[in-house]
Amino acid sequence: MKFSKLSQLFLVSSVGLLVASLLTSCEIVTIDYLFVASSSGSGTASAGQIQTYDVDSESGAIRPGQPTVASGGSSPVSMTVTSDFANLYVANQGNNSVVHFAVSGSGVLSQKDTVTTATPPVAVATNPAKTYLFVVSGTSSATLSAYSLSSGTIGSAAATVPLTLGSVSSSFAADTIIPTGINVLTNGDAVYVTAYDQSAYNPGGPVSSTANPGWVFGFTIGSGGALTPASGSPWKAGIKPTALTSDPTNRFVYVTDFASNELIGYTVQSGSVLDFMVNGPFKTGNEPSAIAIDPRGLYIYVSNALDSSVTSFVISLSTGTPSAAVNTTGSSINATDTQPEAILVDPAIGRFVYTANHLGNSVSGFVLNATTGTIKPTLSTPYPTGDAPTALASVPHGNHSTESVTP
């Protein structure tokens, strides 16, 4: 059969459109940038690094993105981003530094400025207004500092307060308080810090105090960054609290207790006072290490270090009570690689969960079922990282909106 030139042109055009259509349908679309802080070597003094991964919008699978950058110190342990996703801060425990990076629209990190803390930083957080960076530090004493922020640049400390049990009892005032986590309410009214009393809880070592081991310290954030202890603070928090988070509506705070394998729930009262949920605490896996709530405020995800797993909970929007989400596979265990230490839910669409696996040298990924809260592994998980990853942060790509809910 012979074709006219016009017919040939039409055929070629049709084939081209078909091929283009197939390529477009297979195109990978980045929905988030995922940042992973880890060590560049196995030594305790090895320089820290931040790796960037692109998150696929369809599958949640991640792939290497922009070039890896130095964290600005050694032993990075915590990261946070501002509410506009334009700035990232990393706490480096090895050289007592908190380093500021600007985040470009394509996920490029550019180091800007650094602040040096008097003691090793443990965790960092920013307020929604992007005016303060909160740093909790100390490995033999605990201190909370609020540094002023101006267009992301770290300024001087607006407030610094010690974390002690002196208000509980004068006999506990000299106890050694070890901070473990930090959280700022999304309304910017208060900041909470988890810590444990090493003088009362010291496995394998001596104890010298009869105080309750685990605590949550709460402070209202006032004008100029002033930190005022909330009435009744600190509040008991099990034995060894490791992490905490709050829901997007500022009504509930949740704390993981590493030693008791439990999730402790609190309701936020007037004046940012915390009150125990009467039906808690709630069972987790073994040695819960980190916690995250999805952007809609519907589900809680807890990483369990000893089990190498993630426990998922559904939040009762009226009471805040978490109940375990049962996977459709019949299994309540969502396996990660070895020893997850950090966990987050992607901020762009709130459909993917990731853990940083300290001994696995990897990130594990899960797809979140928005209807049930259950999760299942992403394609090709786990994904290799640098040595001993410890912290995660993420920003949406481009103009993607973030998910939220106001019950």
pLDDT tens track for 326-345: 765 555 579 999 999 999 99
Secondary structure of the chain: what % helix, strand, coil (to 5)? 10, 50, 45
Residues 262 and 256: their CA atoms lie apart, in Å, by 6
3-state secondary structure of 68: coil
Q: What's the average model confidence in pLDDT over 114-125?
A: 97
Domain boundaries of the chain, sorted by first residue: 34-396
Please report the DSSP string for 146-212 in residue order.
Answer: EEEEETTEEEEEEEEEE--STTT-GGGTT--EEEEEEEE-TTSSEEEEEEEETTT--TTS-----S-
250 has a pLDDT exceeding 70: yes
pLDDT at 26: 46
The CA dihedral of 291, 76, 100, 366, to the nearest 10 degrees, is -40
pLDDT, residue 341, reads 98
pLDDT at 27: 58
- Residue 189: pLDDT band (50, 70, 90) is very high
Query: Quick one: average pLDDT of 282-290?
Result: 97
- pLDDT confidence band for 223 (50 / 70 / 90): very high
For position 104, what pLDDT does the model report?
A: 96
Rounded CA gap, 276 and 158, in Å?
Answer: 31
Name the fold adopted by 34-396: Methylamine Dehydrogenase; Chain H (2.130.10)
**Is 302:294 a contact under the CB 8 Å cutoff?**
no
Buried b (16+ CB within 10 A) or exposed e, 47-64: bbbbbbbbbbbeebbbee
Q: Do 137 and 94 contact (CB within 8 A), yes or no?
A: no
Q: Give me the pLDDT at residue 15, please.
A: 36
User: How far apart are the C-alpha atoms of 281 and 297, rounded to whole Å?
Assistant: 19
Band the pLDDT of 82: cuts 50, 70, 90.
very high
Residue 255 pLDDT > 90: yes
User: Using CA atoms, how far apart are residues 130 and 103, in angstroms rounded to an integer?
Assistant: 14
Task: Report yes or no: 183 and 125 within 8 Å, Cβ to Cβ.
Answer: yes
87 pLDDT more than 70: yes
Q: How many CA atoms lie within 13 A of 210 on its CB side?
A: 3
Distances (CA, A) of 340 to 227, 266, 269, 308, 380: 32, 25, 32, 6, 17
Nearest Cα to 38, choosing from 291, 341, 289, 345? 341
Q: Are 300 and 324 in contact (CB under 8 A)?
A: no
Tell me the percentage of the chain whose pLDDT exceeds 90.
84
Range from 21-30, 244-253, 283-292, 371-380 carrying the lowest mean pLDDT:
21-30
Does the pLDDT of residue 105 top 80, yes or no?
yes
Q: What is the pLDDT of residue 331?
A: 56
The whole-chain average pLDDT of the chain stands at 90
Residue 18 reports pLDDT greater than 70: no
Would you state the pLDDT for residue 23?
A: 32
Closest by alpha carbon to 61, among 290, 337, 366?
Answer: 366
What is the model's pLDDT at position 40? 75
25 pLDDT exceeds 80?
A: no
How much of the chain exceeds pLDDT 70, in percent? 88
pLDDT at 361: 97
> Burial of 84 by CB count in 10 Å (0-12 exposed, 13-18 middle, 19+ buried)?
exposed
